Amino acid sequence: MAARGRLIIYLGYAAGVGKTYAMLREARRRRDEGVDVAIGYFEPHDRPDTITQTRGLELIPPKLVAYRGAEFREMDTDAVLARRPRLCVVDELAHTNVPGSPRAKRWQDVELLRDQGIDVLSNLNVQHLESLNDQVQQISGVRVRETVPDWVVAQADEVVLVDLTPRALLHRLERGVVYPPERAQRALEHFFREGTLGGLRELALRQAAHVTEARQEESAAAAPSGRDRILIHVTADPESAMLIRRGKRVADFIRAPCLAVHVTPEAEMLAGDAVAAVERHLAFARNLRIETHAIGGGELAEELVTFARRNRITQIFVLGPDRRRDNAAGVELIRRLVRLARDMQITIVARRRTQPVPPHQ
């Protein structure tokens, strides 16, 4: 069986910083060294400088997929596997495939290529990292819908930061290098504000630093201390997704095991829509490679703390009370947890302020 293919991710913070250009330049360098290179998917975006970098590189034609009366271009993963290059270039790792495709996300196609021993160069903007979804919305006012689980980036063999100052990126936008004039003007009025770009760039720099630190620890054979273990309390509340992201982000930074737990007290019967919401949140946690549990029995706080002690938990993440309505049960849960789990850290995560969310751009 062939060794698993390597993955190199080019990380940026916005369209136009040069991720695809840098990725293709590396592909050309590898080709010049004699490596068998092919482009599995490329999105030109009408950027002449980037398109120039594809010259001389073999492009495996995309497949056209019909959906709701229109045709969409998707990577032809089967054709890539049949061609079997040593190195494959795959643009836009966070892309969502057309409904009905064999795999829902392009990163899943990339995982399949790697399973077959094919090395992959791909790219990603930091706002597409799942655990940063809430922070990105706070910075930009935009809820990013296409995300990649953090573990996909964490297990990449190399993450290359492609950086550009916000002012330089805005100059590119104004010159028409990133988008055509009409779209560039809309972008300047919305997502491409200097303050927004600065905040996203800071996230990208921090993420790159975190990856570098993790690599250094691994190379030094540093093992996790084993002292910290995080538990995330999952409910049907829509804010549970935000809580899961926050807990997982902290767990990744301190290199601690992370568990997501739903407790159904004995006296409580969940309605059908609540049951569906809980399962959706637990499935979301599993997608982030968090160990999940659903337990039931006695009083909520007691069950949660008993489970936590049995699993050597040191930190419990729980949602703060919803101050928009009477939430006596939420307040009482926190009080009980604080009293019962004096040997653990209780992290109360505040809810997001409600505000209109513009559509994803």
304-335 tens-digit pLDDT: 999 999 999 999 999 988 766 656 777 888 88
Long-range contacts of 177-184 (CB under 8 A, 24+ apart): 177/16, 177/47, 177/49, 178/15, 178/16, 178/45, 178/47, 179/15, 179/16, 179/45, 180/46
Neighbours of 170 (CB within 10 A): 20
Give the residue-averaged pLDDT of 291-308. 90
β-strand partners of 119:
87
What confidence score (pLDDT) does residue 56 get? 93
- More confident site: 124 or 327: 124
pLDDT of 257 strictly over 50: yes
In contact, 111 and 121? CB cutoff 8 Å: no
Beta-strand pair 291-297/315-319? unpaired
Q: Alpha helices, DSSP H only, in 43-83?
A: 48-52, 77-83
What confidence score (pLDDT) does residue 216 get? 60
Quick one: angle between helices 240-254 and 272-287, nearest 10?
20
| Placement of tokens 């009025």 in the chain | 189
In contact, 243 and 250? CB cutoff 8 Å: no
CA angle (265 as vertex; 290, 251 as ends), nearest 5: 20
pLDDT of 361 strictly over 50: no
> pLDDT confidence of 297, banded at 50, 70, 90?
confident
Give the residue-averaged pLDDT of 40-44. 95
> pLDDT confidence of 54, banded at 50, 70, 90?
very high
What confidence score (pLDDT) does residue 230 get? 95
Give the residue-averaged pLDDT of 50-69. 94
* pTM for this entry: 0.74
In contact, 68 and 98? CB cutoff 8 Å: no
Give the residue-averaged pLDDT of 87-105. 96
- More confident site: 193 or 323: 193
Q: Which of 7, 346, 266 is nearest to 155 (CA)?
A: 7
Number of H helices and number of E strands within the chain?
13, 13
What confidence score (pLDDT) does residue 195 get? 92
What confidence score (pLDDT) does residue 222 get? 47
3-state secondary structure of 181: helix
The domains of the chain, with CATH numbers, are 7-219 (3.40.50.300), 230-349 (3.40.50.620)
> pLDDT confidence of 214, banded at 50, 70, 90?
low
In this predicted model, what pLDDT tens digit does every residue of 174-189 receive, in sequence order? 888 888 887 888 888 7
Backbone angles phi, psi at 140, to 5 degrees: -105, -20
3-state secondary structure of 262: strand
Mean of pLDDT over the chain: 88
Lowest mean pLDDT among 109-113, 140-144, 202-206, 271-275: 271-275
Backbone angles phi, psi at 214, to 5 degrees: -65, -40
What confidence score (pLDDT) does residue 267 get? 56
3-state secondary structure of 350: coil
User: CA 38 to CA 57: how far, in whole Å?
Assistant: 6
Helix (H) or strand (E) holding 297: strand 291-297
DSSP state of 60: P
What confidence score (pLDDT) does residue 117 get? 97
Quick one: angle between helices 166-174 and 181-189, nearest 10?
140
Query: How far is CA 164 from its chain centroid?
Result: 21
